[in-house]
Every structure is written in structure tokens, then in C-alpha cells.
Amino acid sequence: MRKATFFWSAAVLLSLWELFGEPVFAEVTTVVCTSGAPLEMPPPGPLAEAAEFLGDRLTLLEPVLLAMAASWAIRSRVRPGAAMPGRALATSPAVLGLAVALLPTALAEAEDRLSPEPPFWWRECLEAQLPSPSYAVPRLLLAWLLSPAAMVVLAGIAGAGIRPRLTDLRNAGTAAVAIVLAALLPGALAGLPDNADGTPRYAVVGGWDRPYVLDLESGEPVSRLPGATRTYARYDLVVRDTEPGHYVAALTSPTGRYFRLYRLTMGPDGRVTVGERLTPTLEGTVNGLAVSSEGRIAYSRMTDGDDYVGTLEREWPAGGHGLQWLDARTLALPGHSVPVKTLAALDVGTGEIRNVAAPAEHEFTRPLLVLPDGRQLRALGWPTRTLVLHEGTRLVRKVLALDCGHIESLALAPTGRHLLVGVDREAEEMDRTPLAGLPPCGGAASQLLRLDLESGDARVVPGEQEPWVQAW
């Protein structure tokens, strides 16, 4: 019975420590979040408020209730020569004590699940400034073993006079491992979610500083992209890599005069982690980034005096703004100055820049996207309101024409059939008549369109979204 008394006493003392000791030694962090508009927090519902009320009261009463359960267990111990009580009666104090120890945590979890989520930017601000919780298995096991609930379980075992056999311990360990695997394996084996049309559900949108992952089905932001280091935390460009959920990104220093390339990985929950660093620190501003179908990475940078186009192996002096891979060894350089009806192309094997035949466009040509089948998607006009599809120099069809606003950005889905179009629906002063001839759209300031290049069907992503899409 001494063991049972010891474990009951430990349960009471640990609950007192959690109530009075931990707050004294807890690390205090000051969090500062700013917003350009009033930040409205959705109020909790009545069920969440009830769970919070009961949880707070039970937390305060936990040491007292555990002491009462311990007193009941010690007073009801079997005296020498007395009849053995029933199993249910013998384990009742331990069952009550376990309920008392677990209920505050269960109610806190219920409150969290029943409460509406706070605004995304508020959550991201907190996560960026608060230390990340540790999910290391040894730490979690130690926290459980030193919890009031574990002490109550041990007190119940000792009070019942049960001596676990080796087979019992082995079976318990097997069950614990099975529970852990059942909880972790589905998340580890799950792939990235898709939309009904087979396109990826998540896209990386937003520019200048910290892009974020957007759920295209719900229109809700999922997570912001993390910084690689304290210095390199601003994103200039993000492009899709060859494997689903993998990306290559250019991160810039605070001054904007230096950048590095990194690999990114997105999990099934839309969370992104920064992986391998691909380049040393490069001078200049990055203005082009592309990954070939074979996984070869190309970039372009602009310094005070010169422009360069490079792969991870070498660089060439050339203007590469908006560069794209035409094939495994040829880069299209839309920003390079060339004669009419031609497009500059760089052979990365020889470094030779040659002019290849291109459609004759009477309007200013902006972004160029190369589809997996070799066809090219061009955005025309200033402001850009038209998308056309070419096969070589032959016009296949016009795929999109806006009657107001302008196209801000484009991103292809992995198959090349679907396109994500960022549309700025406001007309700046320079975009208005007589120069542009069209007024602003009215309504939402911007939106994202999911465009099927084969059928021409377009769907608007829910919500008012930023018009800058990085990768899909």
C-alpha cells in the first residue's frame, strides 16, 4: 500500500506544480502584431464558452479532487483478514482520479475545436514570434510519465495489487506502438490534395516579402512560407519543381542586393519547409527563375552594370527577364532585345544565343509560358488583357480576353492543361482612357481565375485574392 500512497501523493503534488509552479517559471514572450485594418476576432460559441468555463474550474479544483480520490483509495484499502471487495469498487478511486486528471485537458481540446479559427494573419503572426512546440517523442513520453494522470494509473495498479508480467508489458508496448503508428502513418503517407479536375488544390500566391499557400477550393489561406534564415526571409520568385509539392525559390536579403536559391517542400497540410540551399550568395536582383522538365534550374539576375543568365553550373552575360525552358538545353529569353518576329534562345550547352522564329505580335508581349507539349502561351497588350496560344509561329486560338482590369500573373498546373490567372481588376491612372480605353471593373479589386486551356472554361477562386500567383 505504500506504493499506492506514494503515487497518489505524486499525483497531487504534480497537479499543484502545474497550477502554481509552472506559471512562475514559464517563459514570457512579448508578441507584436500590426494590421492595416481593424482585426475582427470571431466570438466563440456557447459550447466553446461552456467548455472553457468547466475546464478553468476543474483545473483549479484538480489538486483538491485528486486529494479526495487519494483519501478514498487509502481509506478503502483491504485490511488483513477482511473480505476482498469487488474489482469495480477497488478501482473506483483510480477511475475517478484519472477522470479528474484528464478532464481539464479534454475540455481545453474541446474548446479549441469548438471555437472558430482566428484570422489567418493573426495565427501566422503568433506562430512567427512564439517558440515552436516540441513534438520530440522522448520529450512527449517524459511529459506523460511525469503527469498526474500517469501517477493515478500507477496508483491504481499498485492499489489493486497487480504485478504486471513480462508479457503484459510487451503487449502494452506493442499497443502503444500501434497507436502511435496509426496516428502518424496516415499523415506521412498522404499525398497532396487535388481539386475535382485533378489540379493541385494548393497554390503559392502573393509577392513581395512572404508569399502564402492558398487553398483554391475554399479560397482560404493555409500557411505563409517560412524564411530560410533571419537574413534571407523575403521571397522574390517561387517556381514549381518536377515533383509534386516541391518548389525552387529565390530569397532576397533585406537590402535586395543579394539573393540565394533554395528548395522548398510542401506537406499534405499545405505547410512548407525550407530545404537544400542551391547556390552561394549571388549579387543583384533576381528577375527570372525556371525549372526544366528534367529538373535543371535556370535563373537570371540584374546588377548595377550587367545582366546575367545562369544555371547551377555556370553563367552567361545576357538579359533573362522572364526566362523559360524551351527544351532540355534551350532557354527562351523574352526580355532579350531581338529583331521583329524572333525570340532570343540560349543554348546552355554552348552558351550561344541565337534568334528563333516567333509569332509577329503587334502589341506589347509580356509573359511567355511554355506548355509541356511545346506550345507557347503569350500574354499580350499593355495593360495585358489577352492570352493567346501558339504552336511554333501558328496561332492556335485566343484563350482569354478581359474587358476590364488586366492580367498580373500566370502559373501553369503540372499537366499544362490548366492555368491560374491573377487579375488586377482596378485600373490605375496610366491604364485608363485614352491610353487603355477601358475603365476599372468595379467590385473586387482582384481575383484568381482557374482556366481550362482546352475547353476555355474559367472558374473564379472564392474570395478576394491577391493577383500575384507564384506557382501551382
Q: What is the pLDDT of residues 366-393, one digit of tens each?
A: 568 889 888 999 888 777 888 999 998 8
Binned at pLDDT 50, 70 and 90, residue 87 comes out as: low
Write out the DSSP string of 306-341.
Answer: -EEEEESS-EEES--TT-EEEETTEEEETTS---TT
Q: In this predicted structure, which of 237-241, 318-322, 467-471 has the lowest mean pLDDT?
A: 318-322
Are 194 and 188 a contacting pair, CB within 8 Å?
A: no
Phi and psi at 10, nearest 5°, equal -65, -40
CA within 13 Å, CB half, 8: 26
| 78 pLDDT more than 60 | no
**Whole-number Å distance between alpha carbons of 447 and 34:** 25
Q: In this predicted structure, which of 153-162, 182-191, 228-237 has the lowest mean pLDDT?
A: 182-191
- pLDDT at position 162 is 66
DSSP letter, residue 429: G
Closest CA relative to residue 12, chosen from 145, 144, 151, 140: 151
The three cell numbers of residue 255 are 537590402
- pLDDT at position 210 is 78
| 200 pLDDT more than 90 | yes
Alpha-carbon dihedral sign for residues 202, 195, 245, 298 = negative
- pLDDT at position 77 is 67
Phi and psi at 276, nearest 5°, equal -65, 135
Most confident of 6-20, 147-161, 162-176, 352-366: 6-20
pLDDT tens digits along 179-194: 767 766 665 556 677 7
**Whole-number Å distance between alpha carbons of 127 and 225:** 12
% of the chain at pLDDT higher than 70: 86
Higher pLDDT residue, 18 or 144? 18
Higher pLDDT residue, 360 or 471? 471
- Compute how many other C-beta atoms are within 10 angstroms of the C-beta atom of residue 306: 11
- To which H or E segment does residue 132 belong? none
Phi and psi at 284, nearest 5°, equal 110, -175
DSSP letter, residue 1: -
Question: What's the distance, CA 399 to chain centroid?
Answer: 31
Are 378 and 386 a contacting pair, CB within 8 Å?
A: no
In this prediction, residues 105-125 reach a mean pLDDT of 86
**Whole-number Å distance between alpha carbons of 58 and 52:** 10
- Dihedral of CA atoms 57, 58, 63, 66 in degrees, nearest 10, equals 150
Mean per-residue pLDDT of the chain = 84
The model's pTM: 0.72
- pLDDT at position 239 is 96
pLDDT tens digits along 211-227: 999 999 999 999 999 99
For residue 198, the one-letter residue type is G
pLDDT tens digits along 249-289: 999 999 989 999 999 999 998 999 999 999 999 999 999 99
For residue 281, the one-letter residue type is T
In this prediction, residues 154-176 reach a mean pLDDT of 76
The three cell numbers of residue 459 are 472558374
% of the chain at pLDDT higher than 90: 45
- pLDDT at position 392 is 86
The three cell numbers of residue 9 are 501523493
The three cell numbers of residue 329 are 538545353
**Whole-number Å distance between alpha carbons of 448 and 466:** 8
- pLDDT at position 173 is 74
- Compute how many other C-beta atoms are within 10 angstroms of the C-beta atom of residue 121: 15
What's the start-to-end Cα distance of the chain, in Å? 64
What per-residue string of b and e applies to 341-367 under the rule 16 or more CB within 10 Å gives b? eebbbbebeeeebeeeebbeeeeebbb
Taking phi over 0 as left and psi of -120 to 50 as alpha, with beta for the rest, 356 belongs to beta
